[in-house]
């Protein structure tokens, strides 16, 4: 039996989320595929069994599976059932904000592994407060993580959120899930719906095991929730020696 994603007991019920239920189920299954919990060739449980697992109607499961089949992540066979294909999602805006945007030089989407190195609570600076639309000195939580591809560090990131939006935020690095935007949706009903980016370059080699001098790609972001309220600011520093940043507009 394949390992299905487990929804935290502390997360809101699926019926309480503002996004469509099939979208939440689809993201949970997609996360399991992307993280290797559902291996290529795995056969999913029946629609009835999945509906019981997620606590939603069979029609909701059917819609989620249909979308994932259209995306190429699943294949539905009459006698066998629903099978994980092993294909990776390519350029799809429905997956745009969930997955890694540094692609291989051949255009392929690369799976990265994240490692959170530090978590700290503090207060919003005069520079960050306007970006988050909070008062200067309001409580925030900040964490830093490193992304690796094929065991080589290629990006490090710092993310800051207002503590009021994420009460009971994890205090240990190992408790922050790899797909953080999905965690915001599941645990806090925050759906990242838009991101504003600024792209540049600078020298930054500490976390990326690079010689000096070495220019890296800089991406500074403000992420907005479903009500267009800023909820997260982040800075990313990446080497593009073997990867390219992909930004898609449709």
> What are the structural domain ranges in the chain?
14-84, 102-245
> What b/e string do you get for 52-61 counting C-beta neighbours within 10 Å, with b at 16 or more?
ebbebeeebb
Quote the pLDDT of residue 109.
67
Quote the pLDDT of residue 83.
93
Quote the pLDDT of residue 19.
57
Q: Return the closest-CA partner of residue 72 out of 100, 36, 33.
A: 33
CB 62 within 8 A of CB 47: yes
Fold of domain 14-84:
Arc Repressor Mutant, subunit A (1.10.10)
Q: Which residue is it, tokens 């080699």?
A: 205
Neighbours of 26 (CB within 10 A): 23
User: CA-to-CA distance for 250 and 243, rounded, in angstroms?
Assistant: 22
Quote the pLDDT of residue 87.
73
Q: Average pLDDT per run of 10 along the chain, which is 250 residues long?
A: 47 48 81 78 92 90 91 86 77 46 76 91 96 96 94 94 95 90 84 85 85 88 86 94 72
Quote the pLDDT of residue 35.
67
Superfamily of domain 102-245: Chorismate lyase-like (3.40.1410.10)
């Amino acid at each position: 039996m394949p390992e299905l994603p487990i929804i935290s007991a502390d997360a809101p019920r699926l019926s309480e989320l503002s996004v469509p239920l099939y979208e939440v189920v689809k993201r949970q299954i997609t996360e399991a595929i992307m993280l290797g919990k559902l291996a290529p060739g795995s056969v999913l449980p029946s629609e009835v069994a999945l509906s019981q697992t997620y606590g939603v109607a069979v029609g909701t499961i059917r819609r989620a599976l249909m979308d994932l089949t259209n995306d190429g992540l699943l294949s539905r066979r009459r006698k066998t059932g629903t099978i994980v294909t092993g294909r990776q999602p390519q350029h799809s805006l429905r997956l745009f904000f969930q997955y890694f945007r540094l692609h291989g030089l051949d255009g392929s989407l690369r799976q990265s592994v994240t490692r959170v190195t530090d978590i700290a609570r503090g207060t919003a600076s005069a520079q960050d407060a306007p970006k988050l639309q909070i008062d200067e000195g309001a409580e925030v939580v900040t964490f830093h993580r490193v992304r690796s591809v094929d065991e080589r560090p290629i990006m490090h990131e710092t993310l800051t959120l207002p503590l009021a939006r994420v009460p009971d935020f994890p205090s240990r690095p190992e408790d922050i899930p790899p797909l953080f935007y999905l965690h915001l949706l599941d645990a806090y009903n925050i759906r990242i719906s838009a991101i504003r980016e600024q792209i540049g370059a600078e020298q930054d080699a500490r976390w990326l095991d690079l010689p000096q001098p070495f220019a890296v790609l800089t991406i500074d972001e403000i992420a907005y929730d479903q009500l267009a309220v800023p909820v997260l600011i982040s800075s990313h520093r990446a080497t593009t020696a073997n990867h390219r940043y992909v930004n898609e507009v449709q």
